[in-house]
Structure 1
């Protein structure tokens, strides 16, 4: 058994580290910005004093004498901009995508209006070349994740260029070790200090954006040697939104063997007890809910996601022996004595069960000050086999040696949680700072029989 607890306190000003107290000295920005220039469509002259507002928020800016504007500290997502000025037709720019640590450039031309005109709607497009991109980066947004036929975070990452899955089931970026990947959630490392693996389960429906940096990353990602996976979780919106989904299934194979009779055992037939279909052998139930907290005037918003997954797996053993049985095998095999007291019941050798919860609460104290609290926890129990969900590498593929004594094969349990409060304060149109605090606990156990 091992328990690891970590503490992080990070203060950032203008995207630079001022203070970092943690076992892993890294910090990464979790917001982006929108900037651009507003000009007169007829004269191409810059327009000062134009109001640029992000629809549905209290964030915005006014253009300076050169017609330039900047909106800082924007959470990743897709937004709409409203551009207006007295004497000009208002415009609305939709599909404005904001990414972590990047600038979205939106330039607008306004036309004079002699009479009242309807609002002009413009659809923003992503530039072919991102000028402020200094590394090899893949950005996956929540809208794209919804279109993917994937269930786990690792399934998404495997689809990205430069990421492969090794024979051990672990992810590798550009040939580096799996322990050389840094995982960040909302700017805080979620890495087990014992072996460098990801320490928390993150569900796909709780992800707003994933940024995979596979090379050339900046110094802000301190101990990253192979790559960085930067995850930003969802926040609640102005409207209530919820989803519930479930599925069931089973593994099936007609390549069966009968381990009840040891003499009939055929080593080529490895799939036992899955020739019958049971729709509940794999059961998944998950849901999420988000929106404003009642009686707070829309200033406090929440997002909550919960998932329960239970799978019996595909590898079964037969309880021919119990762990307390003993056998005598002399040189003359005809004199061998087998103490077999098992009941012949089929026992799963690679079962997997997990319960996860991801909760975010955001509070706009003032238009310039925002408080956010994230609470995550997971409870995982499994019997390990060479599958992607493996928790640790020890004992890999040893399950076959216990197929006649399945109760003698070890189990694994993990209970993890993290609490991450943060506060962000915008000082001016060009300056903001963020203070983050994080407390995490990772508890891992491996045993044959749990302590009474």
Structure 2
């Protein structure tokens, strides 16, 4: 029997760190607003999540394993007016302190008091230099389309000519990357292994010094990415990026010949303004593209060139308590360069 239990524990060990660094914590004290005495047994709930807690004899409460994001807390207690605290921000590996004061009221009085939480200037449990980027900023506000581009905008982070990330001047393999608590590395150079769709990021944390002992195999910094969870309602997003929608003389062969300055020149001088790469017949080797041109259309079914990005989340049909989230990015381009600017430019 002892041997079977030992084998079972060994099987569970690889999963013990799976969720490390993927959630935060909310704590605080609940008191009477008039006499400042602690209230026992107050129910505190996170609206929209099946998470909550209750205050103890000292009025202290805590809620563990809270996914990163912005929430609304609701405190209810018999004989007191309900209190809602909005804009409660939770980040990975840190504790958010929210103290609550409740006003006495009759049982018939059901009006809810709404309070907006304020973020403290000093994070007491922050022992390292860190930057936290919300997923909505990466996907909708920042001018980035990849994780590496978002990292390059942070202080102390540099992207080299090959697109690789260096933190505090360290080498490429000195940065540890975690996605939902799991190390994700390229086995050849210890860089970021695989790609993460920016639409799937709930929060990204960049630690550039004095990181805790829970993180290992890193010298320069830690990049901790937490992906999104499914939403209780259906949400869909579709985005398409392409330079083909705009009219431009650059989309034509020998495009400089069509500019006003070159049109006035003699024919002999116009020769040096033609495209440098020519075919055997003397024509420009550049091929004019239109938005509906794609040599990959037979394989993909997409007859347009550019970048496609979409995401879908919501409840699983017939299982209201189960949610799903899926996202993806597809590049339909004719080159390894952005928008296919090689000999076949468009």
Structure-2 separation of matches of 1:273 and 1:208: 42
For structure 2, which runs of at least 5 residues remain unmatched after alignment?
A: 1-8, 257-272, 294-304
Higher helix share: 2
- Among candidates 44, 55, 63, match of residue 52 of structure 1: 44
- Among candidates 278, 281, 285, match of residue 308 of structure 2: 285
CA drift at 1:316: 2.8
Matches within 5 A, 1:147-296: 147-249=141-243, 252=250, 257-260=275-278, 273=286, 278-279=290-291, 282-296=305-319
Report the counterpart of residue 131 of structure 2 in structure 1.
138
- C-alpha change, 1:52 and 1:272, in structure 2 (3 Å) is farther
| Higher normalized contact order (CA 8 Å, seq sep 6+, divided by chain length) | 1
CA drift at 1:172: 0.9
Report the counterpart of residue 41 of structure 1 in structure 2.
33
Higher strand share: 1
Report the counterpart of residue 342 of structure 2 in structure 1.
316
For structure 1, which runs of at least 5 residues remain unmatched after alignment?
A: 1-10, 12-17, 265-270, 318-345, 349-452
- C-alpha change, 1:49 and 1:28, in structure 2 (3 Å) is closer
Structure-1 separation of matches of 2:318 and 2:113: 35
Give the conservation status (yes or no) of the 8 Å contact 2:68–2:89: yes
Question: What per-residue deviation string (whole Å, max 9, x for no partner) do you get for residues 317-355 of structure 1?
Answer: 4xxxxxxxxxxxxxxxxxxxxxxxxxxxx5x8xxxxxxx
User: Is 2:91 the partner of 1:99?
Assistant: yes
CA drift at 1:206: 0.4
Structure-1 separation of matches of 2:289 and 2:32: 68
Report the counterpart of residue 14 of structure 1 in structure 2.
none
Question: What per-residue deviation string (whole Å, max 9, x for no partner) do you get for residues 137-168 of structure 1?
Answer: 10011232222222111121111111111233
Question: What per-residue deviation string (whole Å, max 9, x for no partner) do you get for residues 50-73 of structure 1?
Answer: 110111222111100110001011
Matched length: 293
Give the conservation status (yes or no) of the 8 Å contact 1:27–1:220: no
SS across alignment from 2:223: strand
* TM-score, with structure 1 as normaliser: 0.60
Give the conservation status (yes or no) of the 8 Å contact 2:181–2:224: yes
CA drift at 1:20: 4.5
CA drift at 1:180: 1.2
CA drift at 1:185: 0.5
CA drift at 1:129: 0.6
Report the counterpart of residue 73 of structure 1 in structure 2.
65
Question: What per-residue deviation string (whole Å, max 9, x for no partner) do you get for residues 373-398 of structure 1?
Answer: xxxxxxxxxxxxxxxxxxxxxxxxxx
Structure-2 separation of matches of 1:256 and 1:226: 49
Give the conservation status (yes or no) of the 8 Å contact 1:32–1:102: yes
- C-alpha change, 1:29 and 1:316, in structure 2 (3 Å) is closer
Give the conservation status (yes or no) of the 8 Å contact 1:256–1:273: no
Report the counterpart of residue 393 of structure 1 in structure 2.
none
CA-based RMSD: 2.8
Structure-2 separation of matches of 1:39 and 1:112: 11
Question: What per-residue deviation string (whole Å, max 9, x for no partner) do you get for residues 264-295 of structure 1?
Answer: 9xxxxxx9838x67446851112111111011
Structure-1 separation of matches of 2:285 and 2:54: 69
- C-alpha change, 1:144 and 1:256, in structure 2 (3 Å) is farther
CA drift at 1:79: 1.3
Structure-2 separation of matches of 1:222 and 1:257: 53
